[in-house]
Structure 1
Amino acid sequence: MENLKLTFWILLFIVFYTYVGYGLVLFLLVKIKRVFKTKGIQSKSNYQPEVTLLIPAYNEKHFVAQKMQNSLDLNYPKDKLKICWVTDGSNDGTNLKLADYDMVDVFHEDQRKGKINAINRVMDKVKTPIVVYSDANTLLGKDAIHHIVTCFEDEKVGCVSGEKRIFNKDKDDAAGAGEGLYWRYESTLKKWDAELYSVVGAAGELFAIRTALYNEVEPDTLLDDFMISLRVAQKGYTIQYNPKAYAIESASANVKEELKRKIRISAGGIQSVVRLRALLNVFKYKTLSFQYISHRVLRWTLAPLCLMLLIPILGVLSYNEGGLDFHIYTTLFWLQGFFYVAALLGWYLKHRAISLKVLYVPYYFFIMNYSVVLGFVRYMNNAQSVNWERAKRAA
C-alpha cells in the first residue's frame, strides 16, 4: 500500500506540474530574470524589411474576399508586402477567385498532398528575408506584420509567433468558452516562455520565420507550424512571441468539431515528440529543453496517462481508508469524482443548449485529454491523414 501511495503522489505531481505548476515555476523564473535583466535592443522605427505573407488554402473560396481585404488593409508598406497563396488540391474555384487580384502570386496544383507539401513546394520561390504564415480563415490585426518584424531586429530571433484570439460571444458553448479560456492561459504562458528564453512552438494562424532558416519538412508531418518553428529553435535561434501581432478566428462550431481538431493535433504532437526527440537532451539544449518538456511533451504524453491511472489508484486508496471516512485519499477521491461529474453535466447542458460556462471548463479539459488518448491510438495505427479535414467554425 505504501508503494501505491508513493505512485499516487508522483502521478498527482506530474498532473499538477503540467497544468499549473509549470506556470508558477515559469512566473517565478521570469521574475528573477527581470531583476538581472539588461537593457534590450532598441527598436528602429524605420525597420521594415520585405515580407511575404504566405497563405496555404484548401477549398477556401468563401474566405478569399474577406482574407484579401484584410491582407490589403494591413498597415505595412505595400511595396514591401508580397501576398502569396498556395491552393493545391482546391476544386471549389479558390485559385480562380484569386485571379481577380493582380497583386497576388497564386501557386496551384490539382493534386492534394496536404498543407506541409504545399508549403515545401513554394518556399524556394519566396525571395523576401521574412515569410509570414497565416491561415485563410483567420483575420490579422492591422499592425500584425509591423509587430512581427520588429522582433526580428534581434539577430538571435529566428521565429516569431503571433497571438491566436477566439471570438468571444455570450452564447458560446463548451467549445467556445473552453477554447477561449485555454488560449488566454496559453497566451500568458507564451509571454513568460519568450521572456525566459523561447516560445516552444508557433500557432499556424500567424507566425513568421527568417526565410533562410527554412528546411523542407517531412511530407507526412501533421503539425507543420510546430515542426517548422521548433526546427528553427534547434539551430540555436529563439522563438519570440508578440501578442500585439494577433490573428482572430471563430471557435469550433461545437465540441464534436473541436474534438476532431484536437485529435489531429494530439496525433501530430506525438509525431513531433518522436521526430524532435533530440530536444529532450537538456545537456545540449538546456533552457529550451526544460521549456519544451514542461510545456509540450508532458501534455502530449504523461499527463493524460497519469489522469487515467489516478482514477483506480485513488479508488483503492479511498477504499482502504473506509470510503466514507473523509481522510486525505477519500477526500481527493470524491473531489476527483465531482470533477468528472461536472464534466458530464457540462456535456449534458451543452446538448440541452443551456449555458453554464463554469461547467464547460471541466468538460473542455476532459475533451483535451481524451483527444490525446485518441490521438495516440491514431498515431500508433498510422490512421491520421496528412490532409487536413477542416473543423467547422461557429458562425
Structure 2
Amino acid sequence: MIEILLQIVFWLSIGALLHSYVLFPFILYVLSKNKKQNSIVYSRSDNLPDITILMSVYNEELVIENKIKSILNTSYPKERLKILIGSDASNDNTNRIVERYAKKFSGIVLYPFAERQGKPNVINKLKSYADTEIIVLTDAKVYFTEDALFQLVKHFENPEIALVGANLLNKHIAHKGISLQENAFMSREIQMKYHEGLLWGLVVGAYGACFAIRKQFLSTVPKNFLVDDFFITMQVIKKGKKAIYELNSICYENVPGVLKEEFRRKVRISTGNFQNLGRFAHMLWPPHKPIAFAFLSHKVIRWLGPILIMLSFISSAILANQNTFFFTAFAAHVIVLLLPLVDQLLKLLKVNIQVLRFITHFLSMNIALFVGLLKYFKGVKSNVWQPTQRNQ
C-alpha cells in the first residue's frame, strides 16, 4: 500500500512539473495559433487619449536620464503625455536630474518622498495625482522604443480591454553568468502571456517593467505586498475585464548576469507570489474556467515546484530498491542536483557550458522559490528593498 502511495506521489509530482513547463506552453501555442489579436484599436490619425506615466525610483542616477529621454523620444504626442516620478528617498543625483528635465518639459512632475515607502506604496500615492484615463507603469531601468507607447495605448479603443503588457527584450546578453538563461526564461514567459491573451483575454501577471492600464482598474496594492504587478493584473481579471500582451510594444532592459543578485530578487518575488496566492486562491475554482486553468498551470504549479522536486526525489529514493526504473529515477535526481556544483567548478576554470548553466539557473530559482515560501510563512513586515543592479 505504501509503495503504491509513493508511486502516486512520484508520478503526480513529475507529471505536474512536466505539465507546467512543457505541456501547458505547448497547449497555449497550439490553441492560439489561429487566434487574432484585438482589432478594435486607435489608428495613428485618431485623437489619442491622454496618458500618465508613473515611475517609482530609488537611486537611479545612472539610468533615469536615459529613461526620460526614451519616453520623450517616443512617437506619442507630447501634449498628451504626463510623467509623474516618485523618488523613494533617493540620496544620489536622481532628484536633480529629474528636476532638470522638469524645467524643460512641463509634463514631468517629481514627487520626492523623505522616507522609504517601497514601490507599491509610491505607486499607490502617485495614482491619486494622475488625472488621465490611461496610466502606464514602468521601471527606470526599462527603455522605450519609438513606437512602444502607441502600440500599448492603441488597444484601449476597445472598452473591454483594461490592461496591456509590453514586450520586454534584453540587450547585452553575455555567455558568462546567467544572462542567456534569464533571457530565455523571460522570452518564453512573454510568449506564454501573449498566447494567454490571444486565447482567453487574460494574462496571469503582467511584467511590472512596463504595462498600461485604465485608471479605474488600477487597484490599490495592499500594505507590505511585494509583487504589485501580479496583484494589479489579477484584480483586472477578477473584475471581468480583459488583459492582453502587445508584442510590438517593445522595451529594452539589460538582463542580469550575476546569479547571487538574481537569486535575491527571485526570493523577494517568490515571497510576493505566495502573498498573491493567498489572496487569489479562490480563482482556482471552478477549475474549468480559463483563469483557473491558466493560474494553476502557469503559476501555482511552478511556485510549488521545489516541493514537487523534493517529493519526487524522496519517493524515488524510497522506491529505488523496488525496481530498476525507480533506481534510475533516483540516480537521475542525484546527478541533476550535483550538476550545478560541476558548473561552478568549471566556472572557476572559466569554462561556460550553457546546458549546465540552464540546470544551475533552474535549480537555483527553485531554491529561491522555497526560501521565499519560508519568508512568507514568517510574515512580511515591509515591502522596501534594495533593487538589483540590472542596468547599472
Structure-2-length-normalised TM-score: 0.92
Answering whether residue 159 of structure 2 is matched by residue 116 of structure 1, we say no
Unpaired runs of at least 5, structure 1:
322-326
Q: Any residues of structure 2 matched to 1:78-93 within 5 Å, and which?
A: 78-93=78-93
| Residue 222 of structure 2: aligned partner | 218
| Residue 359 of structure 2: aligned partner | 362
CA distance in structure 1 between the aligned counterparts of 2:236 and 2:345, rounded to whole angstroms: 44
| Residue 7 of structure 1: aligned partner | 9
Partner deviation per Cα, 1:110-131 (whole Å, 9 max, x = no partner): 0111111111112111111111
CA distance in structure 2 between the aligned counterparts of 1:5 and 1:377, rounded to whole angstroms: 27
Answering whether residue 176 of structure 2 is matched by residue 176 of structure 1, we say no
In structure 1, give the amino acid aligned to 2:78. K
Partner deviation per Cα, 1:72-101 (whole Å, 9 max, x = no partner): 111211111112211132122422221111
Answering whether residue 276 of structure 2 is matched by residue 279 of structure 1, we say no
Select which of 276, 294, 318 maps to 1:316. 318
- Pair 235,319 (structure 1): closer, same or farther in 2 beyond 3 Å: same
Unpaired runs of at least 5, structure 2:
none
The alignment's C-alpha RMSD in Å is 2.1
Partner deviation per Cα, 1:237-281 (whole Å, 9 max, x = no partner): 111001211222222241000000000000000001111223222
- Partner of 1:87: helix, strand, or coil? strand
Per-residue deviation at 1:38? 11
- Pair 370,394 (structure 1): closer, same or farther in 2 beyond 3 Å: same
CA distance in structure 2 between the aligned counterparts of 1:319 and 1:354, rounded to whole angstroms: 37
| Residue 135 of structure 1: aligned partner | 139
| Residue 151 of structure 2: aligned partner | 147
- Is the CA contact 1:194–1:241 (under 8 Å) kept in the aligned structure 2? yes
CA distance in structure 2 between the aligned counterparts of 1:128 and 1:113, rounded to whole angstroms: 24
Q: Which moved more, 1:260-269 or 1:68-77?
A: 68-77
Select which of 226, 230, 245 maps to 1:241. 245
- Pair 288,49 (structure 1): closer, same or farther in 2 beyond 3 Å: same
Select which of 325, 329, 333 maps to 1:332. 329
Identity across aligned pairs (percent)? 29
| Residue 207 of structure 2: aligned partner | 203
- Partner of 2:18: helix, strand, or coil? helix
| Residue 324 of structure 1: aligned partner | none
- Is the CA contact 1:267–1:384 (under 8 Å) kept in the aligned structure 2? no
| Residue 192 of structure 1: aligned partner | 195
- Is the CA contact 2:54–2:127 (under 8 Å) kept in the aligned structure 1? no
Per-residue deviation at 1:384? 6.5
| Residue 390 of structure 2: aligned partner | 393
- Is the CA contact 1:160–1:240 (under 8 Å) kept in the aligned structure 2? yes
| Residue 339 of structure 2: aligned partner | 342
- Is the CA contact 1:165–1:248 (under 8 Å) kept in the aligned structure 2? yes
- Is the CA contact 1:209–1:229 (under 8 Å) kept in the aligned structure 2? no
- Pair 140,350 (structure 1): closer, same or farther in 2 beyond 3 Å: farther
Q: Which moved more, 1:269-278 or 1:363-372?
A: 269-278
Answering whether residue 31 of structure 2 is matched by residue 46 of structure 1, we say no
| Residue 376 of structure 1: aligned partner | 373
Partner deviation per Cα, 1:208-254 (whole Å, 9 max, x = no partner): 10012222221211001111121111111111001211222222241
Partner deviation per Cα, 1:169-203 (whole Å, 9 max, x = no partner): 34331x21210111121122112111111111111
Q: How many residues align?
A: 384
Per-residue deviation at 1:137? 1.4
Per-residue deviation at 1:394? 6.3
| Residue 56 of structure 2: aligned partner | 56
- Pair 240,256 (structure 1): closer, same or farther in 2 beyond 3 Å: same
